[in-house]
Amino acid sequence: MNAPSNVAELTIETLIANGIDQLYCLPGVQNDHFFDALYDRTDALKPIQSRHEQGAAYMALGAALATGKMQAFCVVPGPGFLNAAAALSTAYAVNAPVMAIVGQIPLPAVGKGHGLLHEIPDQLSIIQGLTKHAAQITSGADADQVLSNAMIQLQTGRPQPVGVEIPVNVWRSPLEGDVSALEIAVPKETPPDEDAIKHAAAMINAASAPMIVVGGGAMNSSAEVTQLTDTISAASLAFRNGQGIVSHENDLRIGMPVAHDLWKETDLVIGLGTRLQSQVQAWGTDDDQKIIHIDIDPTQLGRSAKTDLAICADVEDALPLLLAEVESNQRQDWRDRIAASKAKMAKAYAQHLSPQLGCLNAIRMELPREGIFVDELTQCGYVSRFAFPTYAPRTFISTGYQGTLGYGIATALGVAHARRDVPVVAIAGDGGALFTLSELATAVHHKIPLTTVIFNDNAFGNVRRLQKDNYDSRFIASDLTSPDFVKLAEGFGAIGMRATTPDELRIKLREAIKSPEPVVIEVPVSELPSPWDFVLMPKLRGV
C-alpha cells in the first residue's frame, strides 16, 4: 500500500485501517472518483453493490447489529441519500455503528440552488439529524481531521451512526500537511462513579422484588448481566434490542407481558443500556418503585421517567464493580412469583396466539441455537418479541422503536453476509417484503445464503387488524394484490418454496438452512389473531 495522496484514497485507507473490510454501496456520478480509487484496493475493502440505496444502508445496518463491529455504506447525494435515510434512522434508533459516506454536488455550488443533478437543500443538516456526528470534507487540508473525528465518534460513547459528506470536486483534492496515523486511537470511557455504584448496590440489597431491564447498550455484557440476574434473583426483561443477553433458558428471563404482570409488585427497576421508555414511561411509576439507570449516554438518563439513581457509564465498566458490591439473595418468594407469571402468560399465548406460535416454534426448532433471527413489522414479528426463544446476544435483530416496515429482508442480507458462519432466518409479511425484495438480486449475485419466510395474507395485515378493532371494520387502503413469491424468487435465481402448515414449514426450513443459496419460503395465511393485548398494555402505576 502506498501512502494516500488524495481525499478518496485517504477515505479508503482510513476504513481499512480501522477494520472495515466491506463497503455496502451503490455507485453514482458524484462518487465516481472514489470508486475509481477503490478499484486498486478491493483486496482489502470489498464493494458489495446493492440494487437500491436503501438496500446498501440496510445491509450495513444488519452487518453492524450482527457483529457489533463498524460497517460502512456509500451512496450518491440527494435522492440516493434520501433512499438510504430510513435505514440510517433505524441505525440511529438501535445503536448501530454505521458510517454513511455520502457524495455531494461540487462544493462551490452547495446551497446555491442551481438545480444541479442530485441537489437537495442543506443535505448535511439532514445527515446530522440522523446521526450522532456528521461533517463535510471541504479540501485535502481538513480531510484527515474530519475522518479521524468520525472514526472516534463511531467507536466511543453510545454506538450510533456517523456521516461524512464529500463533494464531487473534493475526492481528488491532494492531501495537505501530515496525515496522522490511519488507525484511530480511541480514548477510554470515563470510569463509573464508585460511590454511585455503592449506592446502587445498597438499593439492590434493600429491594424485595427487583427487575432488570436490558437494552442494546448491554449487548457486550451478557455474562455479567446473567450473573447479576442470578445473584440478586431479579426478573430479567428484554424487549426488542436486548434479546439474548440473558438466555431464554434462564428461569428469571422474562418478556414484556410477564414484566407488565409483575410491574405493580416490582419495587426496584435496574435499567442497563436501555431508554426504559417502553416500561417506565408506558406503565407508570410511583414513590414505591425505585429506579436505577445505567447508560453510557447522559442524554438518556432520566429522560423517559424520574430516576432515583443515574449512573453515566458503559455497562461493561459498571457491572463488574456492581457485582463486587451486591449481596447474593435468593428472594424465593419473588422467584416463585416470576415462575407463576411466566406459566400464566405461556397459557395465554397458547390460547390466543397459536397460529403465530406454530410458525415461530417451527423456525425455532429448525434454526440452530447460534442461528440469527431477523424480525419484521408483521403479526408473527410482534409475537416473536416476547415469545421467540433466544439464547445469545446478537441472535435477534429488530428495528427497535423505529418500527421500520420493510427493513427486514435487506437488513437480513447484511446479517447473513457478515455472519456466513451461522444460518440466518428472516421473516416478513407480504406488505413489508416488497419494500426490499429486489435485493434478492443482490443475494444471488453475492451468493448470500439467507432464508426468508414471507407470510402472505394479501394485506397490510397490521393496518387491517387495527381498522377492524378500532374503526368498526371500515377497511381502507389495507388490501393488497401480492405476487406468487415462489415464482418471484425463482425469477431472481433464488430458491422458492411454499409451506401451508407449521409442520411443512419445518420441513422446508430444514432444507433451506442447508442450502448455500438464498431461499424464499412463502406461507399463505388467513387473518391472524391480534397480538396487541400483549403489546400495548395499560398504565399500572402513578395513574
- Do residues 95 and 216 make contact, with C-beta atoms less than 8 angstroms apart? yes
Q: Are residues 372 and 317 in the same domain?
A: no
Q: Are residues 257 and 392 in the same domain?
A: no
Residue 215 burial (CB count, 10 A): 27
Residue 535 DSSP symbol: T
Task: Give the pLDDT score at 182.
Answer: 83
- The residues, any chain, with a CB within 8 Å of residue 219's CB and separated by 6 or more, are 68, 241, 242, 245, 273, 393, 394
Q: Are residues 106 and 216 in the same domain?
A: no
Task: Give the pLDDT score at 184.
Answer: 82
Q: Are residues 143 and 283 in the same domain?
A: no
CA–CA gap between residue 487 and residue 492 (Å, rounded): 9
CA–CA gap between residue 431 and residue 379 (Å, rounded): 12
Task: Give the pLDDT score at 187.
Answer: 83
pLDDT tens sequence for the chain (543 residues): 678 999 999 999 999 999 999 999 999 999 999 999 999 999 999 999 999 999 999 999 999 999 999 999 999 999 999 999 999 999 999 999 999 999 999 999 999 999 999 999 999 999 999 999 999 999 999 999 999 999 999 999 999 999 999 999 999 999 997 776 688 888 888 899 999 999 999 999 999 999 999 999 999 999 999 999 999 999 999 999 999 999 999 999 999 999 999 999 999 999 999 999 999 999 999 999 999 999 999 999 999 878 999 999 999 999 999 999 999 999 999 999 999 999 999 999 999 999 999 999 999 999 999 999 999 999 999 999 999 999 999 999 999 999 999 999 999 999 999 999 999 999 999 999 999 999 999 999 999 999 999 999 999 998 999 999 999 999 999 999 999 999 999 999 999 999 999 999 999 999 999 999 999 999 999 999 999 999 999 999 987
Supply the CATH number for residue 306's domain.
Answer: 3.40.50.1220
CA–CA gap between residue 469 and residue 460 (Å, rounded): 14
Q: Using CB atoms within 10 Å of the CB of residue 199, give its burial: 0 to 12 exposed, 13 to 18 middle, 19+ buried.
A: middle
Q: Are residues 306 and 415 in the same domain?
A: no
Supply the CATH number for residue 22's domain.
Answer: 3.40.50.970
> Does some domain include residue 61?
yes
Q: Which of 167, 186, 219 is the last residue of a domain?
A: 167
> Does some domain include residue 520?
yes
**255's grid cell:** 418478556
- pTM for the model stands at 0.97
> Does some domain include residue 177?
no
Task: Give the pLDDT score at 178.
Answer: 75
Residue 183 burial (CB count, 10 A): 13
Task: Give the pLDDT score at 478.
Answer: 96
Question: Cα dist. 485→191, 496, 519, 527 in Å?
Answer: 52, 7, 11, 19
3-class state of residue 244 by DSSP: coil
Q: Which of 342, 362, 387 is the last residue of a domain?
A: 342
> Does some domain include residue 58?
yes
Q: Are residues 336 and 379 in the same domain?
A: no
Q: Are residues 321 and 381 in the same domain?
A: no
Q: Are residues 338 and 364 in the same domain?
A: no
CA–CA gap between residue 345 and residue 337 (Å, rounded): 12
Q: Are residues 337 and 357 in the same domain?
A: no
**365's grid cell:** 426448532
For residue 275, the one-letter residue type is R
Residue 239 DSSP symbol: -
What is the sign of the dihedral through the CA atoms of 329, 330, 335 and 336? Answer: negative
3-class state of residue 162 by DSSP: strand
Task: Give the pLDDT score at 48.
Answer: 98
Task: Give the pLDDT score at 181.
Answer: 61
- The residues, any chain, with a CB within 8 Å of residue 421's CB and separated by 6 or more, are none
**SS3 labels along 439-471:** HHHHHHHCCCCEEEEEEECCECHHHHHHHHHHC
What is the edge-to-edge ordering of all strands in the sheet holding 495-498? 396-397, 372-374, 424-429, 450-456, 519-524, 495-498
- Do residues 40 and 52 make contact, with C-beta atoms less than 8 angstroms apart? no
Q: Are residues 373 and 328 in the same domain?
A: no
Task: Give the pLDDT score at 1.
Answer: 65
Can you give the residue range of the structural domain that contains 513?
353-534
**518's grid cell:** 438464498
Q: Are residues 294 and 202 in the same domain?
A: yes
Q: Are residues 451 and 410 in the same domain?
A: yes
> Does some domain include residue 267?
yes
What is the edge-to-edge ordering of all strands in the sheet holding 71-75? 46-49, 22-25, 71-75, 98-104, 162-167, 133-136
Task: Give the pLDDT score at 296.
Answer: 96
Q: Which of 293, 309, 342 is the last residue of a domain?
A: 342
For 348, phi and psi rounded to 5 degrees?
A: -65, -40
> Does some domain include residue 184?
no
> Does some domain include residue 45?
yes
Task: Give the pLDDT score at 180.
Answer: 64
3-class state of residue 44 by DSSP: coil
> Does some domain include residue 175?
no
Number of structural domains the chain divides into: 3
**344's grid cell:** 400464566
**117's grid cell:** 443533478
